[in-house]
């Protein structure tokens, strides 16, 4: 698992709890690429959930938000290294929908929320096989 600085973990959990029973989503800003350099999350940015109808089970990050956060990250010499979202009342395991919509090269963080309390989270990346693997602290 990619370690999160405590303040960022607290903020991420709070966001996921606030959106419950809907899915929370946002961008992970930091450094690294998961290959030559391990990922390091230094900041998160909350995104609105732009999915049309089913906010309890789906998220979609608005492209305009991505553009904005990409610009911001570049300005402070960082990168958008990945995205996070919550699974209300489900385990932090990626869904088939997560997998088919994922991009290799991004870090994906999934946080489980049960009864408005955030639970376990996983950090994942898409392997060349097209399936998710957990990211080890060294990656």
Partner 1 sequence: MKVKILIPTPLRRFVEGAKSVEVEAATVEAALAALGQRNADLRKQIFDDAGHLRNFVNVFLGDRNARELGASLAEVPVRDGDVLVLIPAIAGGTPEVKLSREEILRYSRHLIIPEVTIEGQKRLKASKVLCIGAGGLGSPLTLYLAAAGVGRIGVVDFDTVDLTNIQRQILYSTGDVGRPKVEAARERLEALNPNIEIVTHSIHLASWNVMDLFGAYDIIADGTDNFPTRYLVNDACVLLRKPNVYGSIFRFEGQISVFDAARGPCYRCLFPEPPPPGLVPSCAEGGVLGVLPGIIGSLQALEVLKLILGVGEPLIGRFVVFDALDFKFRELSIAKNKECAVCGASPTVTAPVDYEAFCQVRGAESEADLGQASLISVEELHQRRDAGEKFRLLDVREPHERKIVSIPDSIHTPFDELLSRLHEFDSADQFVVYCHKTGRSLDAWRLLRKAGFGNAYVLSGGVDAWAQRIDPTLPRY
Nearer to partner 1, 6 or 96 (CB): 96
Half-sphere exposure of 117 (CA within 13 A, CB side): 2
Nearer to partner 1, 44 or 61 (CB): 61
Cα–Cα dist 74/94, whole Å: 29
Q: For residue 21, is the peptide bond before it cis, meaning its omega torsion is within 30 degrees of 0?
A: yes
* Residue 31 in contact with partner 1, rule: CB under 8 A: no
> What track of x and - describes contact with partner 1 for positions 94 through 113 (by CB under 8 A)?
xxxxx--xxxxxx-x-----
127 touches partner 1 by CB under 8 A: no
Q: Does 70 bind partner 1 (CB under 8 A)?
A: yes
Residue of 4, 81, 109, 135 interacting with partner 1 (CB under 8 A): 81
Angstrom distance (rounded) from CA 136 to CA 74: 26
Least gap, CB of 85 to partner 1 (angstroms): 6
Nearest-5° Cα angle at 49, 43 to 52: 160
**Nearer residue to partner 1 within complex by CB, 7 or 51:** 51
The sheet with strand 132-134 has its strands ordered as 40-47, 25-31, 79-88, 107-114, 117-126, 132-134
Written as six digits, the tokens of 45 are 């940015």
Residues that bind partner 1 (CB under 8 A): 20-21, 23, 25, 33, 35, 51, 54, 56-61, 63-64, 66-67, 70, 79-83, 85, 87-91, 93-98, 101-106, 108, 115-116
């Amino acid at each position: 698992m990619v370690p999160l600085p405590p303040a960022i973990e607290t903020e991420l959990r709070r966001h996921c709890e606030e959106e419950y029973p809907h899915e929370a989503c946002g961008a992970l800003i930091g450094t690294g690429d998961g290959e030559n350099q391990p990922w390091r999350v230094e900041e998160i940015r909350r995104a609105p959930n732009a999915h049309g109808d089913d906010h309890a089970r789906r998220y979609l990050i608005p492209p305009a938000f991505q553009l904005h956060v990409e610009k911001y990250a570049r300005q402070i010499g960082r990168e958008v290294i990945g995205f996070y979202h919550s699974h209300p009342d489900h385990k932090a395991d990626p869904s088939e929908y997560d997998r088919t919509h994922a991009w290799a090269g991004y870090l994906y963080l999934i946080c489980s929320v049960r009864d408005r309390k955030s639970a376990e989270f996983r950090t994942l990346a898409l392997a060349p096989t097209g399936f998710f693997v957990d990211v080890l602290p060294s990656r």
